[in-house]
Amino acid sequence: MSYCVNCGVELDDSAKKCALCSTPVVNLNALIPPEEAVPPFPTRVVIPAEVRRRYGAFIASMVFLIPNIVCLVINLMFNFGYLWATYINATSALVWLLLVFPFLFKNPKSYIIVPIDALGVFLYTAVFYAVEHGHGWLFELALPLILVVAAFAFSVAEWIKHKKLDWPILITSLLLQTAVASFGIELIFRYYYELSLLPVVSIIIAACCLALVAFFLSVLKNKRLRAWLSRKFFI
């Protein structure tokens, strides 16, 4: 029988250190060496099987696929002069890509998902561009906008991934990214509509973001304010 010299509790014969304070057990007079004593708990570990997300995603894909095929077949059989099923098929494909596709991966990575999603959104707009016979907006407006939004989404996903990040720093970074993205979006619109390139709306957005950034940076330093915020806005 051994006792912890730090906590004063008796330890079981198999213990090599105290379970409470990790003080090593040194007992030269122990009747049974710790290696030979039967431990109070087994070593067998059972980790329950994971939920099969990919299986669920596969089922959801089938649910998406069946009505789309039905629509397409009906459209081909009863063609009233145009392919109305294109709208349904394209929209379903986009919804599937955004909501179901990531779950087919065991560990979805933002550098794979975001470019594929961006490509999907571009193709979706391209379909409508082709059907509606657009006049140049696809490459001059839609594509740059999609690229800016994708870059913003990628950047946000990468920041959020850091779970250990302090929440005021995370919010600050998100606000700064929002400000930068708003500048990009406004410049694209202004260029397309041939307006002056001097930003107006994005300056207002950036000013609001910077004011909030200043507030959250002050939260970082003020422990009492931070505790009050945590208490008031806990989820």
Partner 1 sequence: MPKQKQWFKLDNAATVFPGQNTSRWSNIFRFSVMLTEKIDPAILEQALADVMPRFPCYDVRIRNGLFWHYFEKNPNGIPEIQPDIVNPCHRVKFKENRGYLFRIYYYENRISGDFYHALTDGLGACYFVCTLAAQYLRLCGHNISVGGNVLDITFPATPEELDDPYKKCGLSKGKVSRRISSVYHAKGTKAPKHMVNITRGIVSLDDVRALAKSYGATVTEFIGALLLFVHYEKQKEEKRKQKKVCVQIPVSLRKTFGIHTLRNFSLYYLLDIDPMLGEYTFEEVLRHIIFSLRDINNEKTLRAMNTANLKLANSPFMRVMPLVVKDLAIGIASLFTGEKATTVLFTNLGKIDLPEDMLEFVDCVEVMAGPGRLNAVRCGGCGVKDKFIIDFANIFEESDIEKRFFTVLVKMGAHVKIESNRR
Give the count of residues interacting with partner 1 (CB under 8 A): 34
CB of 161 to partner 1, least distance (A): 17
- Residues 6 or more apart in contact with residue 102 via CB below 8 angstroms: 108, 113
Contact 54, 45 (CB under 8 A): no
Distance CA 24, CA 27 (A): 10
Considering Cα of 39, then 41, then 42, then 44, what sign does the dihedral take? negative
Contact segment (CB under 8 A) with partner 1 among 13-21, 24-32, 112-120, 186-194 equals 13-21
Determine which residue in the list 26, 29, 31, 50 makes contact with partner 1, applying CB under 8 A. 50
Cα distance between the two ends of the chain:
48
Residue from 5, 21, 76, 165 binding partner 1 (CB under 8 A): 21
Note whether 11 and 28 are within 8 A (CB): no
Task: Print the binding letters for residues 184-223 with partner 1: x by CB under 8 A, - otherwise.
Answer: ---------------------------------------x
CA 106 to chain centre: 14
User: DSSP character for 142?
Assistant: I
Q: How far is the CB of 42 from partner 1 (least distance, A)?
A: 5
Query: What is the rounded CA–CA span in Å between residue 25 and residue 173?
Result: 49
Mark the segment that binds partner 1 (CB under 8 A) among 3-11, 132-140, 172-180, 184-192. Answer: 3-11
Per-residue binding string, partner 1, 25-44, x by CB under 8 A, is -------------x-xxxxx
Name the site residues for partner 1 (rule: CB under 8 A). Answer: 4, 7-12, 15-16, 18-21, 38, 40-51, 223-224, 227-228, 230-231, 234-235
